[in-house]
A and B are shown apart, each in its own frame.
Chain A
């Protein structure tokens, strides 16, 4: 049961910015959707999506959690 980190992005209302609201652990995309929807239920989000952390490509930083996850995924 190997969980992966998924970052959660959401937009509160139509016209709002899509912002990073947190993250969940899940074994696959489908469970990540469920975990995100039930964990971050403080708003009636207009839009929510999840991204596996290793799929995020850091542009201008080589430190921090995104860069670290990316490095770990490609060097393992």
Chain B
């Protein structure tokens, strides 16, 4: 398939070579890119039903429009990522409609219900911030040119989602009372949820090739720091408790709770008091998927069969 050996390609991309098409790739590169794009596409896709079901809590028609504009963006981003996958030999049809709910590769955070407006705006403030942290790193560093070009649009729109989240978090925090309590409760479960999203710490990370092929630039721990560097000051400014603080000696943000730890998805509660658990236990929880996994996937796949049958019948 490739004009290069794997070692040649790794060297070339480190020297700035941009991959344009399948013919430039090795099988190792294609596989690493496929994993990265699948996670990206599935995350964008599953954010849509998650935000969509939460958008009914919008307090006005204008906020409904903003919430749905975000959902529309997310679906477009998903579509773009699945199209990029088609160009490297995967099937969008199979990926979107041919998989079981547990086979999707989105983070565990998008298997959770968003039960009120505060949770939706914190999702915009935290989850979309995680998205932008990951994707702007890819945008700056990726060696895959079609993805780099596609990310111009995606970065621009994710910034709007983030702003939407922050503006509303500020508004709810200022309002005080019940609004503030709901906001704090959302932060309590969604902060550690996003921290976990960035995956294994660097000292445990299995070698994935994503850095060697220059599909990204920063490590998991570096990305977690980037996310905290904007999220922790935001929470402090709004007077919200976030379980992390700046450590001047280490010159980095440190968590104030055992990481990783167990999560009760029904009560939306992190068991800080039960102490640190193994990453194997985390993977097991992720593999078991969260309470909304089947409902979200079903809402995306629902009408595909019916409408296809009608159209096929009409054509016959």
Contact = CB atoms under 8 A, between A and B. Distances in A.
30 contacts: A1-B307, A1-B308, A5-B83, A5-B86, A20-B149, A21-B149, A21-B153, A22-B80, A22-B149, A22-B150, A23-B83, A24-B79, A25-B79, A25-B83, A25-B92, A39-B76, A39-B79, A39-B80, A40-B76, A40-B153, A41-B72, A41-B76, A42-B156, A63-B21, A63-B23, A64-B20, A64-B23, A65-B21, A65-B87, A68-B22
Contacts of B80: 22, 39
B121 to A, nearest CB: 22
Given A22-B150, A22-B153, A64-B20, A38 B72 contact: yes
Interface string A38-55: 111110000000000000
Interface in A9-25: 20-25
A39 B21 CA distance: 23
A22 B156 CA distance: 15
A20 B152 CA distance: 12
A1 B306 CA distance: 12
B157 interface: yes
B284 interface: no
B15 interface: no
Contacts of B312: 1
Interface residues of B, number: 21
Given A1-B308, A25-B92, 9 more contacts: A1-B312, A21-B153, A22-B83, A23-B83, A24-B79, A41-B76, A42-B153, A64-B20, A64-B21
Contacts of B87: 65
Interface of B, secondary structure class, is helix
Contacts of B308: 1
Nearest to B76: A39
Contacts of B156: 42
Interface of A: 1, 5, 20-25, 38-42, 63-65, 68
Interface string B138-151: 00000000000110
B248 interface: no
A14 B103 CA distance: 46
Contacts of B72: 38, 41
A49 B86 CA distance: 22
Interface string B84-99: 0011000010000000
B78 to A, nearest CB: 10
Contacts of A64: 20-21, 23
B311 interface: yes
Interface in B292-308: 307-308
Of A22, A38, A63, most buried by chain B (CB within 10 Å of CB) is A22
Interface string B262-290: 00000000000000000000000000000
Nearest to B83: A23
A51 B23 CA distance: 23
A23 B87 CA distance: 11
A38 B76 contact: yes
A55 B23 CA distance: 21
A24 B312 CA distance: 22
B230 to A, nearest CB: 22
A35 B287 CA distance: 34
A24 B92 CA distance: 12
Contacts of B150: 22
